[in-house]
Structure 1
Amino acid sequence: MDDQEVSTNKIPRLIGEENFIRWKVLFEVAVNYNNPELWNSIKDGQYIPSLAAKNSATIESKMNKRDDKALLMLKLGLSWEILTSVNHHKTSKEMYDAVIDMFEGNTELRDIKKDRLKQQLDRFKFKEGERLKSVLQRFMTIVNEIRTTDLQISDFELNKKLLSSLSGEWYIASKFIKEKVDFPNFK
């Protein structure tokens, strides 16, 4: 997905696992920006009006048309390989949930991913001879993955981990930063 392809008028395309997280965010933004009701249909499913409501048949027809349009937008955002795997779903919510499960897994797999990310963060440390830029890139890769989950780690904890992971040559700088920003109880 080139940056030029991403706009509120174009639907981002999911090609595979390598662009899933980006697609998930940009797809929601594009659909929600253009028609929040379509996004609601994808995310929450079709609204079923009360039978007692006046013109419930008219309302249900509008809801079905909205979901049909949301389903078409979703199909346009998927590569052929992915679409053929989920095309049997009849509502936009079912299809979207199937795509999410395909790339994020079920609840158990998501928990395993969170545990793996937590372990990566816990074991994160400076590698001998590594440049600061490389350390920061590796650290931000882990942080960005954590932020795609519901794993809650405070910015304070992340900053603390990064500063304590730096090499000895950064000791004075990290100590100054800790004191300057008043890291409470930091040792």
Structure 2
Amino acid sequence: MDDQEVSINKIPRLLGQESFIKWKVLFEVAVNYNDTELWNSITDGQYIPSQAANNNVVIEIQMKKRDDKALSMLKLGLLWEILTRVNHHMTAKKMYDAVIKMFEGNVELRDIKKDRLKHQLDRFKFKEGERLKLVLQRFMTIVNEIRTIDLQISDFKLNKKLLSSLSGEWYTTSKLIKEKMNFPNFNLDDLISFLQASEHEMIENNMIREEKPSFPVRIALVALVGNLPIKSQ
């Protein structure tokens, strides 16, 4: 078994509020990797046979075993102090929902968090002297929270915000992306990869601190897009 399989098979542990967002994503990945039906038990609840199925005992036993396994995986993923607060729940869904409520709060609190994240995104901008790597790290911290709380913001809006938040030395590159590439169809990962490649190219050509790269450098930046869509003329 290679390192990746070991990593996926290992159940991530929820240690506290600071690790909750990461845990929520990685726990779903780990459970789905083992058995998609286990994750269905956690999100949809234990299967209950209908009267039309004549209360099929075999199916009921199978679903109960699957839910017990999902419940055990969930317990293994919780710090002891957290587990003791939700251990009275007898199904995987009820325990998982209790954990989510514990760290995300009720509907009203989630709405407050969504408003906070919108405000953080609106106010986001680069800090004086900050390199691209740190800008992207701070930006993606906000984006990852947005994605885990089901706050719907399109990649197009995120891309526009990111480009508008860069320092003046990125003016020409940002303009190039918006005007020469098929910008509305860029996803955020494409944009980040392109910016990182552009920074590398600009550093190699000693252009990172100049306002505008020379024409040959701009041509090189276009070439770095590779198979990304180019805006038709």
TM range (shorter): 0.7 to 0.9
Structure 2 residue aligned with 1:131: 131
Tell whether 2:103 aligns with 1:107.
no
In the superposition, the TM-score normalised over structure 2's length comes to 0.70
Structure 1 residue aligned with 2:42: 42
- Report 1:86-97 matches (<5 A): 86-97=86-97
Q: Structure 2, unaligned stretches of length 5 or more?
A: 185-233
Letter in 2 for 1:72: S
In the superposition, the TM-score normalised over structure 1's length comes to 0.85
Deviation at 1:149, TM superposition (A): 2.3
Separation of aligned partners in 2, 1:8 and 1:166? 35
Deviation at 1:6, TM superposition (A): 5.7
- Report 1:1-187 matches (<5 A): 7-54=7-54, 56-181=56-181
Separation of aligned partners in 2, 1:64 and 1:178? 54
Deviation at 1:27, TM superposition (A): 1.6
Deviations 1:17-57 (CA, angstroms, capped at 9, x unpaired):
22222222222222222222222111110111012424523
Identity of aligned residues (%): 82
Q: Taking structure 1 as reference, are residues 136 and 38 closer, same or farther at Cα in structure 2, changes over 3 Å only?
A: closer
Q: Structure 1, unaligned stretches of length 5 or more?
A: none
Decide whether the 8 Å contact of 2:49 with 2:55 is kept in 1.
no
Q: Tell which deviates more after alignment, 27-36 or 70-79.
A: 27-36
* Equivalenced residues, count: 182
Letter in 2 for 1:138: R
Deviation at 1:130, TM superposition (A): 2.6
If you compute each CA radius of gyration, which structure gives the higher value, 1 or 2?
2
RMSD: 2.3
Separation of aligned partners in 2, 1:87 and 1:5? 29
Deviation at 1:4, TM superposition (A): 7.9
Deviations 1:47-89 (CA, angstroms, capped at 9, x unpaired):
1101242452333233222222221121111110110010011
Separation of aligned partners in 2, 1:170 and 1:33? 41
Deviations 1:98-152 (CA, angstroms, capped at 9, x unpaired):
0111112111111111111111111112223333332222212212221212222
